[in-house]
Chain A
Amino acid sequence: MAKIEAPELTGKIITPKVKTGASKDLKVFLAKPELMTKVSFPSEKPADWKEKFIENFGVILNKYKSVRVFLDICVRCGACTDKCHFYLGTGDPRNMPVYRQELMRTVYRKYFTTGGKLFGSLGAAQEITDELLDEWMTYFYQCSECRRCSVFCPYGIDTAEITMAARELLDSIGMGSKYNLEIVNKAETLGNNLGMPGPAIRNTLDFVEEDIKEKSNVDVKLPMDVEGADILFVTPSADFFASPHIESLAGYAKVFHQAGASWTMSSYASEGGNFGMFIGNYNHMKAINARIWKAARELKVKRVIVGECGHAWRVLYAFSNSLNGPFDFLDSRYRVPQHICEYTLDLIKRGALKFDKTANDQFSVTYHDSCNVARATRMGETPGDQFTIPREIIRTVCNKFVDMDADTIGDRTFCCGGGGGTLTDELIDIRVKGAMPRMQALKRVKDSHNVNFFALICAICKAQFTKVFPYYGIDMEEVGGVHQLVSNAIILGAKEGI
């Protein structure tokens, strides 16, 4: 493998000149036939794949208004072209959102539009071929479904919708991504993306309990499978396995402990994330999501709270109700579901949590808006609370906080470069490059405010940045969760009423 060169950290995000084919060789591994079968897709490309492809395309057009309308109305104004971190990082024109869409639009014209049928290539309509499928397989897995392009498009055209539809189409003719489908399969059969059996999770929870006990001499419990608890807490399985994720797990537990809450996790629904979304497959997304609501019923909880994970929050906040609602068996006084940040800030506002901010004094903190939270969901009551709530928490537990440049946060935030099913080793090259805009913005606050803690609330972002920071010469331990900061500063012990 060629050595990966990270872009130089200058603090400036410069739009590159077009470099055709710059990232054409960065591809995901294909799923093997056995794996395809396990997740109910054709094991390989059938002889009549073209007919199948066109037929399935038609089905998608009839099912999703987004795909149909977006394919029709793009005026190729170019406003999105330099908004994608993967274009900014590589200069490959296929990573310009509109030109990524063009891979699908050209086929759409051929089979589904009057102009394409009448004028063919003059109308930029192309037949689907093996070569074109190969390009699909490459560039629709170089999109992190982050929706940044949608923000700047005069019609809100969201390339993530096109990417999801494209992956669904590819899967439907036997062409899948090993990484994504393995995870879908594990989530559906074992209950989480990592394939962690219940006893292994319990072992980790015990470890965290002991760790807290050793450090603070307080018995903070991390309960699992407790029937009759009030709260079912669902978090990405990475929180049971990876660093720095695990630090936030301790943070959630301490918050619940101080609140005196009756809570539990579930070994059956031990995953907040949902790769069914990344591959654009409604049924898989629904099946993975269904485990959570089944667990909620079986454990007879009153409410569901979700841990730090961008796309988990999207699926749970925005899609759950459609997929597996209604949730009238839960207590209607609480929003269903709730984000852990909503919960924690609410406790803070009611004075139920006490902090020693100086515990975080070695940190100068900035906050990365994870794109799924920023552009696909909300927290709290008011649009935009998804930006203010995590920041308010950070300000409550830290003395030093600074935001990155305004055009790189909020709904204009840059993706970490590893979202949407691209967080796999074979794509590390594009992940390093895709992180460039975010890294430049970070560099600026590092220079101006000595930032040394990069706080965020997304499991994928955490994994991606820990991996990518060293390429840019930054210590991977500078990445951490918001509840990691909470965990550091929270004062355990005597409760002062709630």
Chain B
Amino acid sequence: MNGLSSVINLLAYVAATIFVLGFLNKVVLYFKTPSPLKIATTPAPTNSVGVVLRLVPEVLFFRSLLRGGTAEKILWVGGWFFHVSFLLIILRHLRMFVYPVPGWIMSFQQIGIWAGLIFPIALLILIVRRFTNDRLAVISLFQDYFVLLLIIAIGLTGLLLKYFVRTNLVDVKSFILGLFSVSPAQVPASPLFLIHFSLVLILLVYFPFSKLMHAWGVLISPARAQADNPREVRNVAPWAQ
């Protein structure tokens, strides 16, 4: 194995570790921080089954976003197609992570290809709206553009790999399987692949320290994930006892 391969393999482990530990750290931190008062935004469900039913359309369809005006409708289209295609692309990538490839993963191959094409378009909508709408232009920060550009770069290098600068998929797969089985292998001899791969590592490292934690936050946001039953159930934080 050459030097470059060692470095990339090492970096991959470092990034994955930061991602997993960073994410778990936030999950634990959020879990440990109490909610001294009931603050569900009402009307809210009165029990935990209801809370799950409230969250499902929020996660799957960004329901609250849909209640907004035109700006939110545009955002919804960009945002929803971005997230769904992102998910489908990940599912499509799974075929390179396991051997043999199970049938259910294979069933995502075709739709995953379409998702790859929709992905940059959706991201473009998300970027353009940030500087064309005067209110968004004010609130947008460097890091908002940074993640969007990072992810679009991942998408575009991916598309290049698929349609223009084909890499040897057998090499890629042996490299990835090597990573997963902790028996590091040679990286594929493709600079473009290395760029694509490095960008993903950056995204992994960035994730737990950024607003991307909304992926977890949406599930535990006190305004949405609390049951509206304060008259029936007494809720007291340890510090408030």
Contact = CB atoms under 8 A, between A and B. Distances in A.
Given a CB threshold of 8 Å, the question of whether A touches B is answered with: yes
B33 A319 contact: no
Given A79-B72, A96-B138, 7 more contacts: A64-B33, A76-B140, A78-B135, A113-B209, A319-B38, A320-B230, A383-B42
A321 B214 contact: no
A153 B69 contact: no
Contacts of B43: 378, 383-384, 386-387, 411
Given A93-B138, A383-B45, A66 B223 contact: yes
List the 8 closest A-B pairs by CB distance, nearest first: A73-B217, A156-B223, A383-B43, A156-B224, A73-B214, A81-B135, A65-B33, A384-B43
B104 interface: no
B136 interface: yes
A378 B228 contact: yes
B75 A73 contact: no
Contacts of A157: 221, 223
Given A66-B223, A322-B37, A74 B211 contact: yes
A336 B232 CA distance: 8
A395 interface: no
Nearest to A383: B43
Interface stretch (B7-15, B90-98, B191-199, B233-241): B233-241
Interface of B: 26, 29-30, 33-39, 41-46, 58, 62, 64-65, 67-69, 71-72, 75, 79, 133-136, 138-144, 209-211, 213-214, 216-218, 220-224, 228, 230-231, 233-237, 239-240
Contacts of A151: 41, 64, 67
A430 interface: no
A326 B45 CA distance: 22
B37 A319 contact: yes
A448 interface: no
B77 to A, nearest CB: 13
B36 to A, nearest CB: 7
Nearest to B65: A154
Nearest to B62: A154
B222 A69 contact: yes
A337 B232 CA distance: 11
A147 B41 contact: yes
Contact of B144 (A76, A318, A336): A76
Contacts of A68: 29-30, 33
B65 A322 contact: no
Contacts of B67: 151-152, 412
Interface stretch (A29-37, A235-243, A369-377): A369-377
Contact of B240 (A113, A282, A335): A282
A81 B62 contact: no
A333 interface: no
Nearest to A384: B43
A65 B33 CA distance: 5
A63 B237 contact: yes
B222 A82 contact: no
19 contacts: A63-B33, A63-B239, A65-B222, A69-B217, A77-B65, A79-B68, A79-B75, A81-B71, A93-B138, A123-B143, A147-B41, A154-B214, A155-B217, A317-B231, A320-B230, A325-B234, A378-B46, A378-B228, A383-B46
Nearest to A87: B135
Given A93-B135, A378-B228, A77 B75 contact: yes
Given A76-B141, A78-B75, A96-B135, A69 B42 contact: no
A99 interface: yes
Contacts of A411: 41-43
A376 B214 contact: no
Q: Which of A150, A161, A326 has the most CB of B within 10 A?
A: A150
Contacts of A113: 209
B5 to A, nearest CB: 29
Contact of A76 (B37, B139, B218, B230): B139
Nearest to A373: B42
A78 B41 contact: no
A124 interface: yes
Nearest to B138: A93
Contacts of B62: 154
A75 B231 contact: no
A151 B65 CA distance: 9
B65 A115 contact: no
B65 to A, nearest CB: 5
